Structure 1
Amino acid sequence: MPESPAGDRAVEPLADERVVVPVSASELVFEGHVWDIRRETFDLGDGPIVRDFMDHPGAVAVLALDDEDRAFLIRQYRHPVGLRDWEIPAGLLDVAGEDPLEGAKRELAEEGDLEASEWSVLADFLTTPGGSNEALRIYLARGIRPSDEVFEREDEEAHIETRWVPLDECVDAVLARQVQNPSLVIAVLAAQASRSRGWRSLGEADAPWPTRSPGRGTSAEAAAAEDAARR
Structure 2
Amino acid sequence: MPESSPFDELRDEPFAPEVVSSDLVFQGAVWDVRDDRVRYGDGEIRRQYVAHTGAVAIVALDEQERVLLIQQYRHPIRHRDWELPAGLLDIAGEEPLEAARRELAEEADLVAAHWEPLVSSWTTPGGNDELIHVFLATGVSAAPAVHAREDEEADIRVEWVPLDAAVDAVLAGRMRNGILSLGVLATSLRLRDRS
TM-score range, shorter chain: over 0.9
How far is the alpha carbon of 1:46 from its aligned partner?
1.2
How far is the alpha carbon of 1:94 from its aligned partner?
1.1
Which of 37, 49, 54 is the aligned partner of 1:53? 49
Q: Counterpart of 1:44?
A: 40
Identity of aligned residues (%): 50
Give the partner amino acid of 2:116. S
Give the partner amino acid of 1:46. D
Which of 7, 28, 32 is the aligned partner of 2:28? 32
Which of 114, 119, 123 is the aligned partner of 1:123? 119
Paired positions, count: 190
Structure 2: segments with no counterpart, 5+ residues: none
Q: Verify: 1:162 aligned to 2:158, yes or no.
A: yes
Which of 168, 173, 187 is the aligned partner of 1:172? 168
Q: Verify: 1:135 aligned to 2:134, yes or no.
A: no
How far is the alpha carbon of 1:44 from its aligned partner?
2.4
Q: Counterpart of 2:91?
A: 95
In the TM superposition, what whole-angstrom CA distance separates every residue of 1:116-167 from its partner, at most 9, and x where no partner exists?
A: 0100011111011111101101000001010001101111000011110110
The within-5 A match list for 1:1-231 is: 11=6, 13-198=9-194
In the TM superposition, what whole-angstrom CA distance separates every residue of 1:10-64 from its partner, at most 9, and x where no partner exists?
A: 9453210011221111100111111111011111231111111110101000000
CA distance in 1, matches of 2:10, 2:123: 19
Q: Counterpart of 1:215?
A: none
Give the TM-score taking structure 1 as reference length. 0.80
Between structures 1 and 2, the one with greater strand share: 2
Give the partner amino acid of 2:35. R
In the TM superposition, what whole-angstrom CA distance separates every residue of 1:145-198 from its partner, at most 9, and x where no partner exists?
A: 100011011110000111101100100110111001111100001111111111
Structure 1: segments with no counterpart, 5+ residues: 1-9, 200-231
SS at match of 2:62: coil
SS at match of 1:80: helix
Give the partner amino acid of 1:171. V
SS at match of 1:25: strand
SS at match of 2:107: helix
